[in-house]
Amino acid sequence: MKSIEFLPAGVRLAVSPLSWTNDVLEDLGADISLETCLGDAADACYHGVELGRKFPRDVATLRPLLERYRLSLASGWHSGQLAERGVDEEMTAVAPHAELLRTMGCEVMVYGEVAMMTPGSPLDAPMSQRMIMPKEDVSGYALRLTEFAKRLQSEYGLRLAYHHHLMMVAETFDEISQLFDRTGVETGLLLDTGHAAAGDFDYARLVDRFGDRIAHIHLKDVRGPVLESVRRGDLSFNAGVRAGMFTVPGDGIVNFRPVADFVRESSYRGWLVVEAEQDPAVAPPKAAVLRAFNYLGTIFGQ
């Protein structure tokens, strides 16, 4: 695999297909082919990609497709519901996805909690209407999450990377801390710089508190004025995405030096994933991800 000189040995750089095609807002990037996404990622010298909605889900098709562009599969999102169901049911639900990731050589699986979300179309609801897990339910949820993480590792060789995320169970620093103080070490954390900033806290606090639990990293930036407008107008998550709330590293208000320091100075040897949920008609993807690549070279080179 080609090396990226500014990264420590064993750390690899991927890019999310969300810059080309949105997984929820299907009109964003509907006309962009998967081949365009993969070709652009390869041209920009990324090591890999995460799964997106246009990706085939059978190994016989996916593996040669990625090999054609000399890309690896970094991971993929699983919409979990352990906030409302048991571990056995979750293991049944995750089986095809986990088997695909395992066979493709992935080491982590992104877990996003989609239970306990605002009824209807939750990402279209005003962000103030987010459902919050009662404190008395957190311990039971943490136990189920830990058991699920243990079984995911045992049965598929995958480490769970829990994605703190706007509009979901763990959005704020306190919510993430309350949960991770109760989960076992088997439960890994996905550090998302953009969701931290949009959740009104400095992601460096998660590095300081749970650095040894970080299993996967999403590098996302936030446009401050757009975020302020979204919060002031109590808009939805999807409205924020359409307005350009998120962008690639270097285009917004997030300071990426602490995460670069963490990666250089710790034992972290996983993936860094450039991610930006944007309208590709407004933010041309290839130029954006190439700009992010060059920016990270500057940050890691300091």
Residue ranges making up the domain that contains 232? 12-300
Task: Using the predicted structure, report yes or no on whether residue 109 has a pLDDT greater than 50.
Answer: yes
Q: Rounded to 5 degrees, what angle do the CA atoms 260, 265, 270 make? A: 70
Q: Does the residue 189 lie in any domain?
A: yes
Q: Does the residue 7 lie in any domain?
A: no
How confident is the model at residue 102, as a pLDDT?
Answer: 98
DSSP string of 142-173? HHHHHHHHHHHHHHH--EEEEE--TTSS--SH
Q: Does the residue 263 lie in any domain?
A: yes
Query: How sure is the predictor about 248, in pLDDT bands with cuts at 50, 70 and 90?
Result: very high
Q: Does the residue 281 lie in any domain?
A: yes
How confident is the model at residue 2, as a pLDDT?
Answer: 54
Query: How sure is the predictor about 298, in pLDDT bands with cuts at 50, 70 and 90?
Result: very high
Question: What is the Cα–Cα distance from 151 to 169, expressed in whole angstroms?
Answer: 22
Question: What is the Cα–Cα distance from 57 to 293, expressed in whole angstroms?
Answer: 28
How confident is the model at residue 3, as a pLDDT?
Answer: 60
Instruction: Give Cα 198 distance to the centre of its chain.
Output: 14
Contacts of 231 (CB under 8 A, 6+ apart): 127
Could you tell me if 42 and 70 are in contact, meaning their C-beta atoms sit under 8 angstroms apart?
yes
- How many other CB atoms are found less than 10 A from the CB of residue 79? 13
| pLDDT tens-place string over residues 193-236 | 999 999 999 999 999 999 999 999 999 999 999 999 999 999 99
Instruction: Give Cα 273 distance to the centre of its chain.
Output: 8
- On average, the pLDDT of the chain sits at 96
- Structural tokens at position 71: 């890309």
Contacts of 197 (CB under 8 A, 6+ apart): 203, 221, 222, 227, 252, 253, 254
Could you tell me if 14 and 272 are in contact, meaning their C-beta atoms sit under 8 angstroms apart?
yes
> What is the percent of the chain where pLDDT is above 70?
99
CATH code of the domain in which 45 resides? 3.20.20.150
How confident is the model at residue 1, as a pLDDT?
Answer: 46
Contacts of 126 (CB under 8 A, 6+ apart): 234, 235, 236
Q: Does the residue 26 lie in any domain?
A: yes
- 141 vs 117, more confident: 141
Contacts of 205 (CB under 8 A, 6+ apart): 173
Task: Using the predicted structure, report yes or no on whether residue 302 has a pLDDT greater than 80.
Answer: no
Q: Does the residue 54 lie in any domain?
A: yes
Question: What is the Cα–Cα distance from 65 to 23, expressed in whole angstroms?
Answer: 20
Is pTM, for the whole model, over 0.85?
yes
Q: Does the residue 4 lie in any domain?
A: no
Q: Does the residue 2 lie in any domain?
A: no
| pLDDT tens-place string over residues 177-203 | 999 999 999 999 999 999 999 999 999
Q: Rounded to 5 degrees, what angle do the CA atoms 41, 60, 42 make? A: 10
Question: What is the Cα–Cα distance from 173 to 273, expressed in whole angstroms?
Answer: 21
DSSP string of 224-248? HHHHHHHHHTT-BHHHHHHHT-EE-
Q: Which residues pair with 6 in a beta bridge?
A: none
Considering only the C-alpha atoms of the chain, give the largest distance between any 2 of them, rounded to a whole number of Å.
50
**Number of domains composing the chain:** 1
- The pLDDT of 244-260, averaged and rounded, is 98
Question: What is the Cα–Cα distance from 113 to 90, expressed in whole angstroms?
Answer: 11
- Structural tokens at position 142: 């943490």
| pLDDT tens-place string over residues 27-73 | 999 999 999 999 999 999 999 999 999 999 999 999 999 999 999 99
**In angstroms, how far is the first alpha carbon of the chain from the final one?**
25
* 55 dihedral zone (left: phi>0; alpha: psi -120 to 50; beta): beta
How confident is the model at residue 4, as a pLDDT?
Answer: 86
Task: Using the predicted structure, report yes or no on whether residue 121 has a pLDDT greater than 90.
Answer: no
